[in-house]
Chain A
């Protein structure tokens, strides 16, 4: 028996691992102290919990625990990294380089800096969603203070060549930030080997709780300094004031620990499930297209456009499967995903996309259920699609004069 709807939206959030919940629970009850309380055992025991979590989170990216700043999540980490660097290094320069396919939590802070007089280069990506190291190198000027390129994309799963980009940044003396929210625990990350100076992460994308994240801030070669956004008690080495979310942090630590230990077998298992899903759909449906890189992508991510069928309409037809779509029929703008558009995908294929995010708790049985359900719904909707009818009649949809509205 499988539980419906099948949860295949693990790029959006993940279920908290029971092992994570277990270590968190005592910190809601008997271990409730403020980790900043230095004068009694309530404070000491929570500080111990936070210290362990800091080690665990640092280990998953080969950092030192002193380099981990706990935050409320990746959005805050990204904001702190970008705005914090921009403010601290404004005498050195005002230019930031990032990619067109970054998460809004990177793009929007960059756009705010642009409005405030900074300069931002949004690098275009190739058809697989990749920014090349050469593009980064070419974009760097003597005013560049930061390069921010995500480790793996949240919609299409494309993995960037971090090591090569890191090398270029190092050679040119520019700080390198990466939003690793999607990549943590899914692919190996090593801030030393990859030359990363700042790295954002979130607990709830790696089977930890929501509302907690971290920012890695390099302490040597070079020592990175950032201006804090929250002023107050001077927690987290003055970079992030505010009483620590101890329960969340302890959970994030455990989540990181599990990811580090189980990364290899888990990614192998996820890749197998993804291939099963992809092959199952490809063998039963024509005119479906993979979005993102065919190989250099997160093991659990599959983003597919089902031609002639609209994504939101399709999601309604597969109500027993929880996924997300690049179609933005619900937004006022009617604009489909900017990530898919950045790949050069026609708007109609962007509207036809579904993101399947396979995670730790998915099973083969669930994947098989999803394949059958999606195939049924796509066939049902194609049967009532005027575009499919035209396609069958041999009409090239690109030659049709549409009355756009």
Chain B
């Protein structure tokens, strides 16, 4: 199966590979998937306490090229967005952007789930320590 040029481009030049300190109160971490399924995505967002916007994002992914490209794209898309806007990112948009074939749709689902998990993690953190939030 041939890969789309966009998948290849993200695979060869992945954006935002890396990790934030998961204990940072402004960082939300989402880990989705499982090794036995062949995909694990870790996606982290860092929120600016003044604006409430996602100012940076990082990922690490164990998976095929499409999984890596989906998570790379997801980190690009969440940057600069509010949490609500980031929650609005749909896997179908990732499928479209990367021209993923049907067998790779699950990679995009995983990327959407990773964004949601990271936001949920951040919101739970903030609920537990409200003084960290300035909004």
With most chain A CB atoms within 10 A of its CB, the pick from B67, B68, B109 is: B68
Find A405's partner among B37, B65, B68 (CB 8 Å cutoff): B37
Query: Is the Cβ of A348 less than 8 Å from the Cβ of B36?
Result: yes
- B61 surroundings in chain A (CB, below 8 A): 384-386
- A351 surroundings in chain B (CB, below 8 A): 35-36, 38
- A397 surroundings in chain B (CB, below 8 A): 35
Q: Mark B59-87, 1 if CB is under 8 A from A, else 0.
A: 11111110110000000000000000000
Query: Is the Cβ of B63 less than 8 Å from the Cβ of A405?
Result: no
Name the CB-closest residue of A to B35.
A348
The stretch that binds B, out of A95-103, A165-173, A235-243, A307-315, is A307-315
The verdict on A316 contacting B3 (CB below 8 Å), with A385-B61, A385-B62 known, is yes
**What is the number of residues of chain B that contact chain A, defined by CB distance less than 8 Å?**
33
Query: Is the Cβ of A313 less than 8 Å from the Cβ of B33?
Result: no
Query: Is the Cβ of A312 less than 8 Å from the Cβ of B42?
Result: no
The stretch that binds B, out of A13-21, A198-206, A330-338, A363-371, is A330-338
Chain B at the A interface: mostly helix, strand, loop or mixed?
A: mixed
Nearest-CB distance from A291 to chain B (Å)? Answer: 16
Name the CB-closest residue of A to B41.
A386
- B56 surroundings in chain A (CB, below 8 A): none
Alpha-carbon distance A348/B34, docked complex (angstroms)? 8
Cβ of A383 within 8 Å of any chain B Cβ, yes or no, is: yes
Alpha-carbon distance A146/B41, docked complex (angstroms)? 47
Alpha-carbon distance A309/B62, docked complex (angstroms)? 6
Q: Mark A320-343, 1 if CB is under 8 A from B, else 0.
A: 000000011111101010000000
The B1-56 residues at the A interface (CB cut-off 8 A) are: 1, 3, 8, 11, 14, 17, 19, 31-42
With most chain A CB atoms within 10 A of its CB, the pick from B41, B59, B60, B64 is: B64
- A348 surroundings in chain B (CB, below 8 A): 35-36, 38
Nearest-CB distance from B58 to chain A (Å)? Answer: 10
Find A347's partner among B36, B63, B68 (CB 8 Å cutoff): B36
The verdict on A310 contacting B17 (CB below 8 Å), with A332-B103, A385-B62 known, is no
**What is the number of residues of chain A that contact chain B, defined by CB distance less than 8 Å?**
31
Name the CB-closest residue of A to B68.
A313
Query: Is the Cβ of B11 less than 8 Å from the Cβ of A316?
Result: yes
Cβ of A403 within 8 Å of any chain B Cβ, yes or no, is: yes
Cβ of B110 within 8 Å of any chain A Cβ, yes or no, is: yes
With most chain A CB atoms within 10 A of its CB, the pick from B35, B42, B61, B68 is: B35
Alpha-carbon distance A328/B64, docked complex (angstroms)? 10
Find B37's partner among A331, A334, A386, A388 (CB 8 Å cutoff): A334
- A336 surroundings in chain B (CB, below 8 A): 38
- B113 surroundings in chain A (CB, below 8 A): 405
The A343-390 residues at the B interface (CB cut-off 8 A) are: 346-348, 351, 383-389
Nearest-CB distance from B63 to chain A (Å)? Answer: 5
Alpha-carbon distance A331/B38, docked complex (angstroms)? 12
- B11 surroundings in chain A (CB, below 8 A): 313, 316-317
With most chain A CB atoms within 10 A of its CB, the pick from B37, B68, B109 is: B37
The verdict on A330 contacting B103 (CB below 8 Å), with A348-B35, A397-B35 known, is yes
Cβ of A4 within 8 Å of any chain B Cβ, yes or no, is: no
Alpha-carbon distance A404/B106, docked complex (angstroms)? 12
The verdict on A405 contacting B34 (CB below 8 Å), with A316-B11, A383-B17, A389-B60 known, is yes
- B103 surroundings in chain A (CB, below 8 A): 329-332
Name A residues whose Cβ lies closer than 8 Å to a Cβ of B: 308-310, 312-313, 316-317, 327-332, 334, 336, 346-348, 351, 383-389, 397, 402-405
Q: A387-B35, A405-B32 are in contact. List 16 more A-B contacts (CB 8 A).
A: A308-B62, A316-B8, A316-B11, A328-B38, A334-B38, A346-B35, A347-B36, A348-B35, A351-B35, A384-B14, A384-B61, A384-B68, A385-B60, A386-B41, A397-B35, A405-B113
Pairs of residues from A and B, 7 with the lowest C-beta to C-beta distance, nearest first: A347-B36, A402-B34, A348-B35, A386-B42, A312-B64, A316-B65, A351-B38
Name B residues whose Cβ lies closer than 8 Å to a Cβ of A: 1, 3, 8, 11, 14, 17, 19, 31-42, 59-65, 67-68, 103, 106, 109-110, 113
> Mind listing 23 A-B residue pairs with CB under 8 Å?
A310-B39, A310-B64, A313-B63, A316-B65, A317-B11, A328-B38, A329-B39, A329-B103, A330-B1, A330-B64, A334-B38, A334-B106, A336-B38, A346-B35, A347-B35, A347-B37, A348-B36, A385-B60, A386-B41, A387-B40, A397-B35, A403-B32, A405-B37
